[in-house]
Structure 1
């Protein structure tokens, strides 16, 4: 087993590097196409600017963008952490309690259909204009994918494993921790990969409603001044943040359930 694991790990490492290289090549291609369109169409600067102008703005004011990026990143990570904890707990409650599922599941679906932008002012009223309100907006958006994926992951445990636990007279706690949640980990991390990107968007939504700092505020300020280079620079930073966090969560998931990668 130990001898076979090394080539497998090297193969998975090469696959990860190749996937990363393709992603970078794709981004470079998008930026190149964007710049070519701007050069060919030559639109006014108040309508569209190219990535060169956006990157020039980033290089001209690195401290300004870095400080606001740090604020948005803190809000997004706090919202993601809260959303993950509550989402997993709520998904588990839906699975293990018929009563909770009967009453809570329809309500969650109904709440999920409400645009989260509409909920943002409510969080501002409850938690004020500071860090907390933006974090709770991010949490509200990141919460639902984890609820659904946790619930679906726990429901998808094969009947054979359930029967094996019954035959071996496993306790409810051991059955939950040794079989059900282990089997549900891939589904939970699939939801987490969606939620981490949504949390970044949620933090920006909160900054749109009541922000005096952060990338959402940068975008609003640039919009009021018709400063498209700053606006597109903020868009690029947000995309990089969301992409980086997505790959971090994906990497963590691969470390926690390597058997899924080996079975491919």
Structure 2
């Protein structure tokens, strides 16, 4: 019960501080709307926010799944084939160096204004932290353990699968935890550039019409999705390493 009440207390404190700021500073509603105005949007347009929230959630889940799968596969390939890693990893770093706002228009141009471009954007954002953390975990296997394994009849692939991979799972869990809050960023940035639905689309349209309370409502839904993603990953990752209490 204590764990469940803590987020509610934090949320209540933030809302009270928000209302106090509005009451004291009295900014125009189009700059900072009162909390009650934002709450009214949820009462007035619940299905509108729900529908667009589900669109963004679909993009987040699809991109997270693809990004995590590609990151895991790339890390395993780099560990299994070091020469391939020396060729692939610089390309991965170059791709990661591009800001997401630079990639988004190109992806929309290539994949269209629908779901695909947002999923690809989310996949790219998720890919690097997962691949980087997992590859680092595979690379940091205890050399003494590898030397001991070399004295057996285990092949290179058996050592990778049965020794290096299990020991690298805590690093993979950490990478997934870092990546989870980034997934909504990819989806929303793609929607900002071009979309016909989703929370990013709602924000852009509300901003153009100076409906700041609708923007804040969409932001709150997005924040809830982000927290839910992180909570889901936190709940799943311990199963990757049931022998460890550190994940």
Find out whether 1:186 has 2:170 as its counterpart: yes
Find out whether 1:148 has 2:155 as its counterpart: no
Shift, 1:162, TM fit:
1.9
Q: Name whichever of 123-132 and 19-28 sits farther off.
A: 19-28
Which blocks of at least 5 consecutive residues in structure 1 are unaligned? 1-16
Counterpart for residue 260 of structure 1: 244
Counterpart for residue 215 of structure 1: 199
Counterpart for residue 165 of structure 1: 149
Find out whether 1:28 has 2:12 as its counterpart: yes
Counterpart for residue 187 of structure 2: 203
Residues 38-187 of structure 1: matches in 2 within 5 Å?
38-187=22-171
Q: Name whichever of 190-199 and 113-122 sits farther off.
A: 190-199
Shift, 1:90, TM fit:
1.2
Q: CA RMSD in A?
A: 1.8
Distance 1:120 1:132 in 2: 12
Counterpart for residue 209 of structure 2: 225
- 1:44 partner SS: coil
- CA 1:45–1:109 in 2, change beyond 3 Å: closer, same or farther? same
Counterpart for residue 3 of structure 1: none
- 2:244 partner SS: helix
TM-score after normalising by structure 2: 0.93
Distance 1:186 1:19 in 2: 24
TM-score after normalising by structure 1: 0.87
Counterpart for residue 232 of structure 2: 248
After superposition, give the CA deviation of every residue in 1:92-121 in whole Å (9 maximum; x if it has no partner): 222232222222222222221110111111
Distance 1:25 1:164 in 2: 52
Contact 2:80 2:157 in 1 (8 A): no
Contact 2:80 2:160 in 1 (8 A): no
Distance 1:21 1:186 in 2: 29
Which blocks of at least 5 consecutive residues in structure 2 are unaligned? none
Counterpart for residue 14 of structure 1: none
Residues 7-18 of structure 1: matches in 2 within 5 Å?
18=2
Distance 2:148 2:54 in 1: 49
Distance 2:43 2:244 in 1: 42
